Structure 1
Amino acid sequence: MRLPGVRVKREDFLREALKRQVKPQQLETAVESTPAEAGIPLKTINKIAKKAIWTETRRVTAISATAGAPGGFAIAGTLPADLVQYFGHVIRLQQKLIYLYGWEEIATDDGEFNEESLEQLTLFLGVMFGVKSAEEAVSQLISDRDSEAERPQLPTAVLYPVIAKVATTLGYKMSKHIFARGLSKAVPIMGAFTSGGVTYTAFKPLSKRLQTFLKALPIADPKSVRK
């Protein structure tokens, strides 16, 4: 999370992603509130989200393939860096998707990720890995939110037990994923192809799972937020 380029600034991202898709007034409303509240069709948001997924998938796969090229004993040097950049792209994509589908900026005013940011990202990471308690927690937050609230915020003190469970579950699931990626790098010559392939087949489905979940929430649908 501290690596340069991992943080995605909500306003900058939305302006760049929406500027060719909507009218100037809609763009300003989307930045000040949410794309849904600006009346931007969900179909348009889904199209932009799909492009964001493809962009991050392509980047992380290319980097992973390059890191996997040495093979053999070089695994000791390439695997840690590969894992760091992999989850760096996961965090980047999480931010892009949640901003498109109605979430506020999760970084602090000074542009840093704090403990609350980490807890929020943990929940969304749980959704990506199919942790049901994470999905239920976010869904419940949306359904129970105060009608006068500007946008959903995660009361992390209340959600601590859920977050702890998500983190524990992810530890197991990440271990399996890490093992598969590490094994691919141990194979000389073919390391680049297998590493890139494992990354692609893992990253894209996780990303699509989060998108599918987010776009089904009421805050993502212009028809729901305008009721």
Structure 2
Amino acid sequence: MSNRVHLDFNKALAVAVKAPMVKIDRAEFLKKNFLREVEPKMVDKIVQTSPIKAGVSEHILEKIARECIKYETYKVSTLSLGTGFGGVFGITADFAQYLVHVLRISQKLAYIYGYPSMISIDGGMDDATKTIILLFIGMMYGVKRTDEVIAKLSVTLAEQIAKNISREALTKTAWYPLLKQCCKQVGIKVTKDALSKAATKVFPVIGGVVSAGFSYYCFGKGAERLHETLRKNPVR
């Protein structure tokens, strides 16, 4: 395998989080997607509470979720090494770009299934939010026990939202160590999978790892896995 290929999940993720297009504004996203499906009055309730609490049918939730998955899967399959993050920290350009779309679909699916905003007023993400995002990435890549943690997380967040408690309170839950344990495995799993797939390619590697075919297959499969988990465990 070419020594020009370099993957560092943590560095790539740090770059991806700062990308201008990575953060999804919750209110804007919900308005844009649900206005096509329900009355404007209901959209206001959706933004103020959540699609689940507003009483949106499961059929509509799934329809919008699949449209989002289809859109982001298409975008990630057309990645180009000539744009975006080329040369930053020596990270493979398309690997960082790939993570941008992983972050985007994670936020979109989270908002559809009742999660609060993942972006602070200044446009950043707090530590609790970053941990949740890592958990979602872990779910996409099949990290063990992430489905169990997401189920616990959804219940805890529902309680915290009802009581207006900060997400940082997650650190005080009995299952938080399990959440951290899952997150530690995410970078290892993602990097290992990407390198493994790259090693099987017969075409020359020119500073990149994630081919369009690999991106399309892995992203779509992972997004569907996350979707199914959130569908079964929404924040009510």
Partner in structure 1 of residue 137 of structure 2: 125
| 3-state SS of 1:98 partner | helix
Could you tell me which of 114, 118, 123 is aligned with 2:126?
Answer: 114
Could you tell me which of 17, 20, 29 is aligned with 1:4?
Answer: 20
Distance 1:104 1:26, change over 3 A: same
Partner in structure 1 of residue 7 of structure 2: none
Spell out, residue by residue over 1:81-128, the C-alpha distance to the aligned partner (whole angstroms, 9 max, x if none): 100000010000000000001010011122211222211111212222
**In the alignment, is residue 103 of structure 1 matched against residue 119 of structure 2?**
no
The percent of aligned pairs where both chains have the same amino acid is: 29
Matched residues in 1 for 2:108 and 2:198: separation?
28
Distance 1:186 1:20, change over 3 A: same
The amino acid that maps onto 2:146 is A
Contact 1:10/1:105 (<8 A) preserved: yes
Contact 2:103/2:133 (<8 A) preserved: yes
**In the alignment, is residue 45 of structure 1 matched against residue 43 of structure 2?**
no
Partner in structure 1 of residue 32 of structure 2: 16
Contact 1:133/1:166 (<8 A) preserved: yes
Matched residues in 1 for 2:81 and 2:202: separation?
12
* TM-score after normalising by structure 2: 0.78
Partner in structure 2 of residue 28 of structure 1: 44
1:186 is displaced (CA, Å) by: 6.9
Q: CA RMSD in A?
A: 3.2
Could you tell me which of 197, 203, 211 is aligned with 2:227?
Answer: 211
Contact 1:122/1:163 (<8 A) preserved: no
Spell out, residue by residue over 1:122-159, the C-alpha distance to the aligned partner (whole angstroms, 9 max, x if none): 12122222234322122123345539816895743135
Partner in structure 1 of residue 3 of structure 2: none
**Structure 1 residues not aligned, in runs of 5+:** 69-74, 220-224
Aligned positions of 1:89-168 closer than 5 A: 89-143=101-155, 146=159, 149=162, 153=167, 155-158=169-172, 160-168=176-184
Contact 1:126/1:135 (<8 A) preserved: no
Count of residue pairs brought into register by the alignment: 212
Contact 2:113/2:234 (<8 A) preserved: no
4+ residue segments displaced more than 6 Å: none
Distance 1:78 1:19, change over 3 A: farther
The amino acid that maps onto 1:32 is Q
Contact 1:67/1:78 (<8 A) preserved: no
Matched residues in 2 for 1:147 and 1:4: separation?
29
* TM-score after normalising by structure 1: 0.81
| 3-state SS of 1:136 partner | helix
Distance 1:183 1:147, change over 3 A: closer
1:7 is displaced (CA, Å) by: 0.2
Q: Which has the higher helix share?
A: 1
Could you tell me which of 197, 206, 220 is aligned with 2:213?
Answer: 197
Matched residues in 2 for 1:29 and 1:20: separation?
15
The amino acid that maps onto 2:109 is L
